[in-house]
Every structure is written in C-alpha cells, then in structure tokens.
Amino acid sequence: MSQQMLKKVLREKKQRMTAQRELILKVFLESNGKLMSLDDVYMQIRRRKNHKTSKMTIKRGIELLEELGIIRKIDFDDGVVRYELIDDVTDEVNAIFICENCGKAVKMEVSKEAIKNLLPKKDIEIKDFELKIYGICTECQV
C-alpha cells in the first residue's frame, strides 16, 4: 500500500494523515515484508533523527492502521504481537519462521504443492494451511 492509498483510506474514514501515521506506514513499507512488533517499529522510528514520537502514539497509530485493514496482527502466543503490511497480491500468510533466540519472525511463501509433497498420501486436497517454523536465525547463529 502506498502513502497515497493510505491518505485516501484515512480521508474516507474521516481520519487525518499525521506525520506519525505516515512515519509508521513508511517503517512498514521499508520492512520488505518482515513482521514487526510495536517495539521494532518504535526502535526504527527512534533511530531517525528528530523523531521523538512516544511509544503510546505509535501503538495508537498501529491500532488505527490495523482497524483500517492496512496492517494485520499476527500472534504466535509467545507474548509478542507482531504486525505485517497487508500485501494486495498475497493476502494470506501461510508460513512463518520464528527465531527462538531473538524472536524475529519472517514471512515465507510456501506453495500448497510443496506441502502436499510432504504428506504421506498424495491424494489429499489442501484447502488452506498455516505453518510455523521454529529455529535459530542466521544472526543468532554467529
């Protein structure tokens, strides 16, 4: 989703485009599909010069973007809620790698055909699936 599309959605919902909301969206756009927690977004914004946005403002901005259908909440039941920018092309998350050391989560594309090849019987029709893969990311292996 582009910033122009966000502005249009906000206008339709009678919401203003604030600098903080624009910055939150920019962080998600620059994440390249990476799942991000509130703390991840907060740290990305704090690293930028002259941005003193509070964590509560970021939390409210994220909640609004989720309510508007621009980002999606993903909960792995590990105590850290993560969010991702909704991609218009692939709207479903079907596989996620989660680092057991640092908690980083990365969305992965896995085809139904690849999953079907793992099944003991090949005549099973897969309608949908969700896969969580736990391990240690390359940064934590060093």
Binding residues, as ranges, are 99, 102, 113, 137, 140
107 phi, psi to nearest 5 deg: -75, 140
H or E element that contains 135: strand 131-135
Report d(CA 127, CA 18) in Å as an integer: 41
Beta pairing partners, 130: none
Task: Return binding residues for Fe cation.
Answer: 113
Task: Return binding residues for Zn(2+).
Answer: 99, 102, 137, 140
Give the SS3 label for residue 80: coil
Report d(CA 41, CA 81) in Å as an integer: 12
